[in-house]
Amino acid sequence: MARDDAPLNSLGFAKPPADTRVVVAMSGGVDSSVVAAMLAEEGYDVVGVTLQLYDHGAALAKKGACCAGVDIHDARRVAEDMGFPHYVLDYENIFKDAVIDEFADSYLAGATPVPCIRCNERVKFKDLLETARDLDADCMATGHYIQRAVGQAGPELHSAADPARDQSYFLFSTTPEQLDFLRFPLGHLASKAETRKLAAKYGLAVADKPDSQDICFVPNGNYASVIEKLRPGAAEPGEIVHADGRVLGTHDGVIHYTIGQRRGLGIGGLADPLYVVKLDVDSRQVVVGPKDMLAKRIVPVREINWLGDAPFDSRAEWRLDVKVRSTRPPREAIVRPTGPDTADVELVVAEEGVSPGQACVFYDPDSPRIFGGGWIWRGY
């Protein structure tokens, strides 16, 4: 039992590590394995949990993915080596309903979805978090590169110390209630090299395991082939049309294109390069135009998860930095609420390739704090 005057342990609880149960979400990669090993060495009551999210047969041997086959084996081995219990939970149906089906439907609707965010939001930080509570855990730890800080109004989400590894874009939808229960022990590390050094220190077999690159259920980044398997007959042919109305060619399905795409359009022989500027699903048209048509300043956002201290719509506008793609740095913007969870985001400098289905994440310009974000639902 915790004493009021007891010092806080490294996870923020006023009791010894041995009396603090922490469920570690283990994907089988080096990051979550190091978290589990680190906490076990510190004496915490560690319980490792790995989610089997998909199989698809080939996933058993696929490298660079997570949450299937060889990765489950790797997580189990770490638990055995470090001497803590490990469980594998079959979440395939939950993952399909909460993530894969929406991914397919969004893609068919001309959007460019980010399923990793939905997985964190709807599976790992929802169902798995509830499982951790059912196991009487005090908290749940993950290997994400993000930081949790306790402010005057409660837990806050902060960027990782290493900008190159920061995963705030994929975690913006984490709620204050989830933040209260979550811990991110790697967020303060200066580089991934430090994580691998820790893995070597603990003697983990995954110390040199490559990072996952693709979306776990999209082998080799081939989105269209996955959509065609999930929604047979979805790839209907249509026209490639210039923004001025000229028909320039034909295509084998809108699902093969994304906003901002230049290569592989199949309309060579033109003097100036053209880019995909719009996907018209209803008319099965891929609309192309010059690069300057990609530049957008007003970005409508909905389903906003707000992590500020004051209510989101308590102000006419918020001066924040925003990130509209995971690979881009935050840029200066004015966020104007249009409701409790909707807004028009005005970019001070226009951005190219803003696409429906992507996230728009809010950052404090003066600190590492993240103020949440929402989903871009119209890019043009």
Residues that are catalytic: 119, 216
Task: Determine how β-strand 21-25 pairs with β-strand 285-289.
Answer: unpaired
Q: 235 and 253 in contact (C-beta within 8 Å)?
A: yes
Dihedral sign of CA atoms 141, 146, 149, 154 in order? negative
d(CA 83, CA 44): 11
Contact yes or no for 305/259 (Cβ under 8 A)? no
Between strands 359-363 and 318-323, the pairing is: antiparallel
Burial (CB count <10 Å: 0-12, 13-18, 19+), residue 289: middle
CB 184 within 8 Å of CB 150: no
Q: Which residues pair with 375 in a beta bridge?
A: 302, 359
- The helix/strand/coil state of 9 is coil
Q: How many CB atoms lie within 10 A of CB 123?
A: 20
> CB-based burial of residue 245 (10 Å sphere; 0-12 exposed, 13-18 middle, 19+ buried)?
exposed
Among 77, 56, 78, 83, CA closest to 68: 56
Are 33 and 25 in contact by the 8 Å Cβ rule? The answer is no
Quote the CA–CA distance of 165 and 183 in Å, as a whole number.
Answer: 17
Write b or e for each residue in 25-53: b if 16 or more Cβ atoms lie within 10 A of its Cβ, otherwise e.
bbbbbbbbbbbbbbbbebebbbbbbbbbb
Considering only CA atoms, which of 298, 261, 254, 259 is closest in space to residue 280?
254
Q: Which two tokens stand for residue 148?
A: 């949790």
